[in-house]
Amino acid sequence: MSISISIVEDEARIRKQLAALIGDAAGFRCAGVYPSGEAALREIPRQPPDVVLMDINLGGMSGVECTFRLKKLVPQLQIVMLTVYDDSEQIFKALEVGASGYLLKRTPPDEILKAVNEVYHGGAPMSGYVARQVVQSFAKLSRSDQPQLAPREAEVLALVAKGYINKEIADRLGISLETVRSYLKNIYEKLHVRSRTEAAMKFFNP
């Protein structure tokens, strides 16, 4: 079954390029193309795609704000931010409101498709720099104010923070893929979050 993708991008040239890339690729389907956050917020919840490619610097409503509102309406939606620069402050804001990862707009076409596939299967594509910032927040960990996770749940979340996808977590811990999904569901409920990246950031950077 094809992975359905919606594009939210205010620059016409980039919208056209992304739509053509997705439309021509086997296993992917373009579900919609929107020139603004307002249009995306109006249309995407009606028939949610599997993944949204979201420009972080939209005119009008920002990509971060649109991501926040979409995740409120469609919690299971996977959103990947598109950005010109590796701006960690903006990217962190997007991750905090539920984005699953981000891509630079200059990313080669095959890498964009690879990242979309990764997100669809539970991954969180982001640069090593941003991933390291998430992992380094281990040093700031203060569990006294945190919901108590079971030891195995904490292990799973630590691997999520390091960027491992569900299958890799299962292999490393010697458990089934379904068990990993069950742990993640429990983690989300305990931390009151909607995405794996949001869970890692909330738990390890209180």
For residue 117, report the phi and psi dihedrals to the nearest 5 degrees: -60, -40
| CB 3, CB 28: distance < 8 Å | yes
8 A C-beta contact, residue 98 and residue 79: yes
Is pTM, for the whole model, over 0.75? Answer: no
pLDDT at 193 over 80: no
Are 22 and 100 found together in one domain? yes
My answer on whether 87 and 158 are in the same domain is no
Distance of CA 167 to the CA centre of its chain: 17
User: Which residues, at least 6 apart from 19, have a Cβ–Cβ distance to it below 8 Å?
Assistant: 7, 30, 33
How many independent structural domains does the chain possess? 2
Domain span at residue 17 reads 3-129
Tell me the per-residue pLDDT of 106-163, one tens digit each, with 9 for 90 and over.
888 998 998 899 888 877 776 665 665 555 543 344 444 556 788 888 888 888 877 7
- Token pair, residue 202, equals 């909330």
Please check whether residues 116 and 143 belong to one and the same domain: no
Judge if 86 and 166 occupy the same domain. Answer: no
Mapped onto helix, strand or coil, the DSSP state of residue 5 is strand
Q: Are 142 and 125 in a shared domain?
A: no
State which of 81, 96, 129 marks the end of a domain. Answer: 129
pLDDT at 143: 45
> Both 124 and 141 in a single domain?
no
CA quadruple 188, 193, 196, 201: dihedral, nearest 10: -120
The residue that leads in pLDDT, 55 or 103, is: 55
Looking at 102, 129, 156, the residue that finishes a domain is 129
pLDDT at 146: 58
Q: Can you give the CATH number for the domain in which 18 is found?
A: 3.40.50.2300
pLDDT tens readout for residues 110-120? 989 988 998 88
